[in-house]
Amino acid sequence: MGKPPAHKAIITAAVTGAIHTPTMSPYLPITPTQLIDDIMSVYEVGGAVAHLHVRDPETGMPKADQAIFREVAAEVKKRCDIILCMTTGGSIGDTVENRAKVVSTLEPELASLNAGSINFALFHVAPKFEGQWKFDWEKKYLTGTEDFIFPNTFYTIGKFTELMGRYATKPEFEIYDVGMINNLAYLIQSGQVQKPVYLQFVMGILGGIPATVENLVYLVQTARQQIGEFQWSVCAAGRAQFPMTTQALLMGGNARVGLEDNLFIEKGTLAKNSGEQVAKLKRIAGELGVATATPAEARQILGLKGLDKVNF
Residues lying near Zn ion in the complex (CB under 5 A) are found at 17, 87, 89
Q: Does 242 bind ligand KMH (CB under 6 A)?
A: no
In degrees and rounded to multiples of 5, residue 26 shows phi and psi of -70, -10
**Nearest to 306, CA basis, from 168, 206, 175:** 168
Q: Does 204 bind ligand KMH (CB under 6 A)?
A: no
- The greatest distance separating any two alpha carbons of the chain, rounded to the nearest whole angstrom, comes to 57
Instruction: Please state whether beta strands 83-86 and 49-52 pair in parallel, antiparallel, or not at all (unpaired).
Output: parallel
Nearer to Zn ion, 150 or 290 (CB): 150
Nearer to Zn ion, 85 or 185 (CB): 85
Q: How many residues bind ligand KMH (CB under 6 A)?
A: 13
Among Zn ion, ligand KMH, none, partner that 91 touches (CB below 5 to 8 angstroms by kind): ligand KMH
Among ligand KMH, Zn ion, none, partner that 230 touches (CB below 5 to 8 angstroms by kind): none
- Which residues have C-beta within 8 Å of that of residue 233, sequence separation ≥ 6? 10, 12, 172, 198, 199, 200, 201, 248, 253, 254, 255, 256
Find the binder of ligand KMH among 43, 69, 150, 230 (CB under 6 A). 150
Among ligand KMH, Zn ion, none, partner that 198 touches (CB below 5 to 8 angstroms by kind): none
Q: 3-state class of 105 per DSSP?
A: helix
Find the binder of ligand KMH among 8, 15, 17, 273 (CB under 6 A). 17
Residues 33-92 within binding reach of ligand KMH (CB under 6 A): 87-92
**Nearest to 169, CA basis, from 304, 69, 13:** 304
Q: What's the rounded Cα separation, in Å, for the pair 175 and 294?
A: 25
Find the binder of ligand KMH among 34, 112, 246, 292 (CB under 6 A). 112
Nearer to Zn ion, 89 or 290 (CB): 89
Report the residue number whose CB is nearest to ligand KMH. 89
Among ligand KMH, Zn ion, none, partner that 28 touches (CB below 5 to 8 angstroms by kind): none
**Nearest to 255, CA basis, from 264, 265, 267, 242:** 242
- Binding mask 89-108 toward ligand KMH (x if CB under 6 A, else -) reads xxxx----------------
Q: Does 233 bind ligand KMH (CB under 6 A)?
A: no
β-bridge mates for residue 254, sequence order: 233
Q: Does 208 bind ligand KMH (CB under 6 A)?
A: no
What is the closest distance, in whole angstroms, from the C-beta atom of residue 260 to Zn ion in the complex? Answer: 5
What is the closest distance, in whole angstroms, from the C-beta atom of residue 259 to ligand KMH in the complex? Answer: 12
What is the closest distance, in whole angstroms, from the C-beta atom of residue 85 to Zn ion in the complex? Answer: 8
Cα–Cα separations (whole angstroms), residue 228 to 188, 203, 249, 259, 285: 11, 21, 20, 32, 26
Q: Are 30 and 267 in contact (CB under 8 A)?
A: no
**Nearest to 171, CA basis, from 71, 49, 302:** 302
DSSP 194-224: PSSPEEEEEE--BTB----HHHHHHHHHHHH
Nearer to ligand KMH, 150 or 242 (CB): 150
Residues of this chain that interact with ligand KMH (CB under 6 A) are: 17-18, 87-92, 112, 114, 120, 150, 174
